[in-house]
């Protein structure tokens, strides 16, 4: 397997007027091409901070991240669609900003929109879309710049349960088909063990890796179907115990 991201002993300290906060301490892990990795942990443990660091939006205090010349795409908790732009323009915004709006890239985006059921909505505005459709637009916007690794920060948390199951399936299929690598931050253990093949459990602050689980299902199915698999409950309980003991 090709390594696409190596995180080596990273450490993050915040300074506020009142105190010095140690958010992350000695985190090390490796991500290979095509991996689907979930990061879970207690509330406020620094999961999103870790993702911001991986995305380059925050610096580490010490340690090193090696991107192996791979590019990163980031999908936020909020779909952050621009209300004043059409679906197509929202999907093209990253390409425009990065000055990569070529005919081929636009064609690629149009294909994605077509493939994932948004063709008829390219000239619609985000306000006319359902929650699930908005998420798909946000995902296509992220995929438009053809990143090698996708970082997702609780991307489905704002959705109702049914939509969450559906969009998890959609995202899973899209990312598998596009052969992407995924790092997902979530507070939802069931989402982590159904969507990803590896789960990193973080401890409470200062965050360290408490456990790493390799997730394997005897039948390869969509995330929503994995919830009824025998293995699901075992993984869920083990990870829940890890987090609960924090």
Binding site for another protein (CB under 8 A): 55, 57, 72-74, 76-78, 80, 82-85, 93-94, 96-98, 125, 145
55 versus 224: smaller Cβ distance to another protein: 55
- Degrees to nearest 5, angle at CA 74 with 175 and 98: 105
74 versus 156: smaller Cβ distance to another protein: 74
Please report the DSSP string for 71-125 in residue order.
-EEEE-SS----TTS-HHHHHHHHHHHTT---HHHHHHHHHHHHHTT-GGGTTS-
Determine the Cα–Cα distance for residues 67 and 226; give it in Å rounded to an integer. 31
- Pairing between β-strand 3-15 and β-strand 181-185 as defined by DSSP bridges: unpaired
96 versus 241: smaller Cβ distance to another protein: 96
CB of 220 to another protein, least distance (A): 31
CB of 26 to another protein, least distance (A): 26
83 versus 244: smaller Cβ distance to another protein: 83
Find residue 182's DSSP bridge partners.
Answer: 36, 150
- Degrees to nearest 5, angle at CA 206 with 204 and 212: 60
Q: How many CB atoms lie within 10 A of CB 138?
A: 21
CB of 104 to another protein, least distance (A): 18
CB of 91 to another protein, least distance (A): 13
Element (H, E) at 11: strand 3-15
85 versus 209: smaller Cβ distance to another protein: 85
Determine the Cα–Cα distance for residues 235 and 194; give it in Å rounded to an integer. 10
CB of 127 to another protein, least distance (A): 9
- Pairing between β-strand 181-185 and β-strand 149-153 as defined by DSSP bridges: parallel
3 versus 71: smaller Cβ distance to another protein: 71
* End-to-end C-alpha distance for the chain, whole angstroms: 33
CB of 72 to another protein, least distance (A): 8
CB of 147 to another protein, least distance (A): 9
29 versus 125: smaller Cβ distance to another protein: 125
């Amino acid at each position: 397997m090709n390594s696409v991201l190596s995180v080596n002993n990273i450490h993050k300290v915040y300074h506020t007027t009142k105190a010095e906060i140690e958010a992350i301490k000695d985190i090390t892990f490796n991500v290979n091409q095509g991996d689907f990795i979930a990061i879970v942990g207690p509330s406020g443990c620094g999961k999103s901070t870790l993702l911001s660091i991986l995305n380059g939006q925050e610096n580490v205090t010490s340690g090193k991240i090696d991107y192996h010349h791979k590019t990163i795409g980031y999908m936020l908790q909020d779909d952050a669609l621009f209300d004043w732009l059409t679906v197509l323009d929202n999907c093209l915004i990253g390409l425009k900003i990065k000055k990569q709006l070529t005919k081929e890239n636009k064609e690629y985006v149009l294909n994605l929109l077509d493939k994932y059921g948004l063709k008829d909505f390219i000239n619609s505005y985000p306000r006319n879309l359902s929650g699930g459709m908005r998420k798909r637009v946000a995902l296509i916007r992220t995929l438009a710049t053809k990143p090698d690794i996708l970082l997702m920060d609780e991307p489905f948390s704002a959705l109702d349960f049914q939509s969450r199951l559906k969009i998890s399936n959609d995202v899973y299929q899209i990312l598998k088909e596009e052969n992407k690598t995924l790092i997902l931050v979530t507070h939802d253990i069931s989402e982590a063990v159904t969507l990803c093949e590896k789960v990193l459990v973080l401890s409470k602050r200062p965050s360290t890796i408490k456990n790493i689980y390799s997730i394997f299902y005897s039948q390869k199915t969509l995330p929503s179907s994995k919830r009824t698999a025998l293995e699901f409950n075992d993984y869920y309980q083990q990870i829940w115990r890890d987090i609960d003991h924090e």
